[in-house]
Chains A and B, each alone.
Chain A
Amino acid sequence: MSGFRYTKDHEWVFLEDGIATLGITAYAQGQLGDIVFVELPEIGKTVSRGEAAAVVESVKAASEVYAPVTGEVVEVNAALQADPAIVNADPTGKGWFLKLRPQDLAELNSLMDEPSYQAYVKELA
């Protein structure tokens, strides 16, 4: 999936028209199992790179979703509140978490591209 960038904590980020959409990878949702709840930030909040921007919960685990870039939250995926299972079904599509307006696009450069991330996941298995 070209244009996607990845973190070691299994977040993905996709940049379009200066807005970064953020979610968790297929591998991450598989590790968590059935997702039962997603906690999203308030719109307008500024999150720093590496700071927890959201929380995703399965029955037995809760994980922070860290912001890969610093920026202001401009939109959140309200559909996840009613139906968190969307994250399991379509993690890199309809299961997106939030959209940020990045302060510094250069921050994206340190993230992994698709092949590096796939290699990274293979190593973990």
Chain B
Amino acid sequence: MTGTTSGHRGLDFEEPLLFEQGAEGRTGVDLPKPAGKANRLGGLERKSPVGLPGLSEPQVIRHFTRLSQKNYGIDSGFYPLGSCTMKHNPRLNEKLARLPGFASLHPLQPWSTVQGALELIEQLADWLKKLTGLPAVALSPAAGAHGELCGMMAIRAALADRGDKRARVLVPESAHGTNPATAAALGYRVDSVPGNARGRMDLESFHSKLGEDVAAVMLTNPNTCGLFEDEILEVAAAIHGVGGFLYADGANFNAIVGRVRPADLGVDCMHINLHKTFSTPHGGGGPGSGPVVLSEALSPFAPYPFLVRDAKGLRLAEGPGEVPEGAKPFGRLKGFHGQMGMFVRALAYMLSHGGDGLKQVAEDAVLSANYLLATLKDELSAPYAGPCMHEALFDDAAFRKHGITTLDFAKALIDEGFHPMTIYFPLVVHGALLMEPTESESKEGLDRFIATVRALMARLKSGDVVHFQQAPQFTPRRRLDETLAARHPVLRWRAGAEVQD
């Protein structure tokens, strides 16, 4: 028990739901009372209450401040979440995205009134094209998975345009789940390619599955084991040889940005997560932004809108009559033009680093991951020999020997003040731990983390299994019952609902 009368524990507050603390008639906004005379609602006015609780502004501020204190962000500490690139989110980017010239801009204003916004989009596109070596970019996708949909739709459209209907897409076993989900959403049969002993896609198996009915191979490079697919040129030549396309999942672009261009690897199409490589904040699960760079052959098939420059300046081509000659857009993917707020943040990040700084980003990210691998591989079990790229992968062999799970270890790290690494992904190694330090972490920070992992391993070897199985002990909540949540879904507050025991 908490040992306090109130249930609070110092700065750790028990915070009820909004719906449990309102009072009728109270509000946190001051609005004039409407005259109540106008009614052109066609007899369909709302007669029943919505059921929103009434709180004042101080109550709302306190509520969400207390909630925020139960969260761990990059601002709080080390966040080595593999495949997610949790790098520093500069505040300058936030400030610039909030300039009224961007934040209060309506997407359907006349083009003459939004030239600065379109210029920013053009500049961002130019950076992305130069960094990837690919000649075109579609900016509307709202996230990485949305970008995958966009890129694969462009591939499907390009194939259809030459009268070529293909049935299969090859996806390595180690791929992000979004890859097979995307291919399946487009009606492709997903053919999974196993990995080899080196943690790369097995080339022999890839060749055996390749055929004239394969639309694309979806490759993440560096892959989700944190390793560079060193046979990618051969993969590209082979898929191109059968008339298919090489789709690259750009989730791990941070490892090579400014140092290697996907185009030089034979990539035809790649989505880029602006919320990973280019620092736009993850926000507890979005919003993201997933622009897609495209090869010459795929560029006509990009979705609406197209950015066009003519005598009058810049505009976005939004329909069939407006696109440049030869363009054959596959359709529209999102309302309006894309995640402008993220474009501003990403461009500010690019300008801050410059070409030279971005190259340094890739180098520091890779250096830091290798530092973790080198210093921890005698403590933890590393399934693949280095060097790794931007993330270091371990399996749970060292834990299993002492009777704990990867999850137990992750929860013990939480008590030590760290956000755990990604766990149980990729699926190709048992009980995976995937650590991505990014370039934002200082050497002292890395050393503290390394020392903590070592100390925990010493504790485990001394036989203190219970410490791990009981972890976390110092968090606002301890381990939560996910089985109960799934067996008896409670997805909203209801008046009078009690918590089930």
Shortest beta-carbon distance, B482 to chain A, in Å? 4
The residues of B that contact A84 with a CB separation of less than 8 Å are: 487
1/0 per residue, CB under 8 A from B, across A78-117: the answer is 0000001100000000000000000000000000000000
The residues of B that contact A56 with a CB separation of less than 8 Å are: none
Shortest beta-carbon distance, B469 to chain A, in Å? 15
Find the A residue at minimum CB distance from B488. Answer: A36
Q: Is B104 an interface residue when CB atoms closer than 8 A count as contact?
A: no
The residues of A that contact B482 with a CB separation of less than 8 Å are: 59-60
Shortest beta-carbon distance, B274 to chain A, in Å? 29
Q: How far is the CA of A59 from the CA of B482 in the complex (A)?
A: 7
By the criterion CB–CB under 8 Å, are A85 and B487 in contact? yes
Q: Is A4 an interface residue when CB atoms closer than 8 A count as contact?
A: no
Shortest beta-carbon distance, A31 to chain B, in Å? 13
Q: Is A34 an interface residue when CB atoms closer than 8 A count as contact?
A: yes
Q: Is B483 an interface residue when CB atoms closer than 8 A count as contact?
A: yes
By the criterion CB–CB under 8 Å, are B483 and A60 in contact? no
Q: Is A14 an interface residue when CB atoms closer than 8 A count as contact?
A: no
Within 8 A of A (CB), among B358-417: none
1/0 per residue, CB under 8 A from B, across A55-88: the answer is 0010110000000000000000000000011000
The residues of A that contact B108 with a CB separation of less than 8 Å are: none
Q: How far is the CA of A37 from the CA of B424 in the complex (A)?
A: 21
The residues of B that contact A36 with a CB separation of less than 8 Å are: 483, 486-487
Q: How far is the CA of A85 from the CA of B486 in the complex (A)?
A: 12
- Count of residues in A whose CB is under 8 Å from the partner chain: 8
The residues of A that contact B424 with a CB separation of less than 8 Å are: 60
The residues of B that contact A59 with a CB separation of less than 8 Å are: 482-483, 486
The residues of B that contact A85 with a CB separation of less than 8 Å are: 487
The residues of B that contact A34 with a CB separation of less than 8 Å are: 483, 487
Shortest beta-carbon distance, A36 to chain B, in Å? 4
Q: How far is the CA of A85 from the CA of B424 in the complex (A)?
A: 24
Q: How far is the CA of A57 from the CA of B483 in the complex (A)?
A: 11
Shortest beta-carbon distance, A88 to chain B, in Å? 10
Shortest beta-carbon distance, B106 to chain A, in Å? 43
Shortest beta-carbon distance, A83 to chain B, in Å? 8
Find the B residue at minimum CB distance from A82. Answer: B487
Within 8 A of B (CB), among A13-51: 34, 36-37
The residues of A that contact B486 with a CB separation of less than 8 Å are: 36-37, 57, 59
The residues of B that contact A57 with a CB separation of less than 8 Å are: 486
Q: How far is the CA of A84 from the CA of B483 in the complex (A)?
A: 11
Q: How far is the CA of A59 from the CA of B483 in the complex (A)?
A: 6
Shortest beta-carbon distance, A95 to chain B, in Å? 15
Shortest beta-carbon distance, B58 to chain A, in Å? 39
Shortest beta-carbon distance, B424 to chain A, in Å? 7
The residues of A that contact B483 with a CB separation of less than 8 Å are: 34, 36, 59
The residues of B that contact A60 with a CB separation of less than 8 Å are: 424, 482
Max chain A C-beta neighbours (<10 A), residue from B424, B482, B486 = B486
Within 8 A of A (CB), among B480-495: 482-483, 486-487
Q: How far is the CA of A60 from the CA of B483 in the complex (A)?
A: 10
Shortest beta-carbon distance, A19 to chain B, in Å? 30
The residues of A that contact B487 with a CB separation of less than 8 Å are: 34, 36-37, 84-85
Shortest beta-carbon distance, A64 to chain B, in Å? 14
Within 8 A of A (CB), among B451-498: 482-483, 486-487
Max chain A C-beta neighbours (<10 A), residue from B424, B482, B487 = B487
Q: How far is the CA of A85 from the CA of B487 in the complex (A)?
A: 9
Q: How far is the CA of A84 from the CA of B486 in the complex (A)?
A: 11
Q: How far is the CA of A57 from the CA of B487 in the complex (A)?
A: 10
Q: How far is the CA of A111 from the CA of B424 in the complex (A)?
A: 32
Q: How far is the CA of A60 from the CA of B424 in the complex (A)?
A: 10
Max chain B C-beta neighbours (<10 A), residue from A34, A84, A85 = A34
Q: How far is the CA of A21 from the CA of B424 in the complex (A)?
A: 34
Q: How far is the CA of A99 from the CA of B362 in the complex (A)?
A: 57
Shortest beta-carbon distance, B317 to chain A, in Å? 42
Shortest beta-carbon distance, A119 to chain B, in Å? 22
Shortest beta-carbon distance, A29 to chain B, in Å? 13
Chosen A-B contacts, 15 in total, with CB atoms closer than 8 Å, are: A34-B483, A34-B487, A36-B483, A36-B486, A36-B487, A37-B486, A37-B487, A57-B486, A59-B482, A59-B483, A59-B486, A60-B424, A60-B482, A84-B487, A85-B487
Give 9 closest A-B pairs by Cβ, nearest first. Answer: A36-B486, A34-B483, A59-B482, A36-B487, A59-B486, A59-B483, A36-B483, A84-B487, A37-B486
In the complex, besides A34-B483, A37-B486, A59-B483, 8 extra interface pairs with C-beta distance below 8 angstroms are A36-B483, A36-B487, A37-B487, A57-B486, A59-B486, A60-B482, A84-B487, A85-B487
